[in-house]
């Protein structure tokens, strides 16, 4: 879902309770069964955190609460009447469920029915609860959240699980490509064609170019910086990978320096969750090893 559709959907729910349920999936990334399993004690209003109890993967995690959803939950906890504690479906202890209906724990069917009604009111196609979680994850990926942070927020045990959400990037960003590219150019101060290049310090903010949040390529005679929305340059390191390229012994210091920087760029990309970018640098490292060996052999 686009962010504008998400806002329309949230505004179409009729009650504080249903808006909070959808918001916890849409802006906090909870699964629907996790939302319905929340106990009143799981919400830290003052600290703006939510403890998500044992869920699908038998893991417990803490997620930050969106300000708007926090206000809804705060209102619900203020007006709700404590009822009879009910056994929790996962660990059977008595729980004061945050979301109830006539003294009973709210059902998945009730959530889906209200979601269908709200989607119809907002003029949207059929939407499933898990699509709201997908929307949350995709928004984080598009904003550049690291893979490690995404895994923690979604409660995933492996990078592969989170990368499924990362692949949604291409389809969601295409419709806003021009806007995103213009914004990225402004943020990175990428010079427009025909204009004089800005000083490097203006682009990197005075930091080492290898640490900037841009797509970086180490070249034999320098380096290249591109905004993330532009993607990696098609021609980056094309010579090093060309079968017609040969290195001379006199070039060994240049190749060695390029290899050191390529390793650093791979580590930087992995830390940011840019898996494809990290693999690109790793391929260059492997090719440089081959070129260095050949140059050393004469």
Catalytic residue among 130, 164, 241, 246: 130
Alpha-helical regions (H) of 167-251? 169-174, 177-188, 200-204, 238-241
Q: Count CA atoms closer than 13 A to 245's CA, side-chain side.
A: 15
Catalytic residue among 19, 134, 165, 281: 165
Catalytic residue among 17, 19, 31, 226: 31
Which segments within the chain are labelled E, that is strand?
Answer: 43-44, 49-52, 61-64, 86-87, 94-95, 100-101, 104-105, 215-219, 222-226
Catalytic residue among 17, 19, 133, 216: 133
Is 156 one of the catalytic residues?
yes
Q: Which residues contact 185 (CB under 8 A, 6 or more apart)?
A: 192, 227, 229
Return the structure tokens found at 57.
Answer: 């993967």
What does the alpha-carbon distance between residue 173 and residue 298 come to, in Å, rounded to a whole number?
48
Is 91 one of the catalytic residues?
no
Is 56 one of the catalytic residues?
yes
Is 165 one of the catalytic residues?
yes
Catalytic residue among 156, 218, 226, 259: 156
Catalytic residue among 14, 48, 56, 101: 56
Give the catalytic positions in this structure: 31, 56, 130, 133, 156, 165
């Amino acid at each position: 879902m686009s962010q504008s559709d998400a806002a329309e959907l949230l505004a179409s729910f009729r009650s504080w309770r249903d808006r909070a349920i959808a918001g916890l999936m849409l802006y906090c990334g909870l699964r629907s069964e996790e939302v319905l399993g929340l106990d009143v004690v799981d919400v830290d209003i003052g600290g703006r955190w939510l403890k998500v109890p044992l869920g699908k993967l038998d893991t417990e995690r803490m997620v930050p609460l969106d300000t708007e959803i926090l206000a809804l939950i705060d209102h619900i906890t203020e007006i709700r009447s404590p009822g009879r504690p009910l056994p929790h479906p996962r660990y059977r202890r008595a729980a004061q469920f945050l979301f109830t209906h006539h003294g009973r724990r709210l059902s998945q069917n009730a959530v889906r029915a209200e979601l269908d009604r709200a989607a119809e009111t907002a003029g949207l196609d059929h939407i499933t609860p898990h699509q709201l979680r997908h929307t949350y994850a995709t928004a984080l990926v598009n904003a550049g959240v690291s893979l490690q942070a995404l895994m923690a927020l979604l409660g995933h045990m492996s990078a592969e699980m989170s990368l499924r959400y990362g692949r949604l990037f291409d389809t969601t960003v295409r419709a806003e490509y021009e806007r995103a590219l213009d914004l990225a150019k402004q943020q990175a101060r990428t010079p427009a064609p025909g204009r004089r290049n800005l000083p490097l310090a203006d682009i990197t903010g005075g930091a080492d170019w290898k640490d900037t949040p841009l797509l970086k390529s180490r070249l034999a005679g320098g380096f290249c910086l591109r905004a993330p929305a532009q993607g990696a340059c098609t021609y980056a390191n094309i010579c090093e990978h060309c079968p017609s390229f040969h290195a001379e012994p006199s070039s060994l210091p240049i190749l060695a320096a390029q290899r050191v920087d390529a390793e650093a760029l791979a580590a930087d990309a992995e830390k940011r969750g840019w898996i494809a970018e990290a693999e690109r640098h790793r391929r260059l490292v492997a090719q440089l090893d081959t070129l260095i060996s050949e140059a050393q052999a004469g």
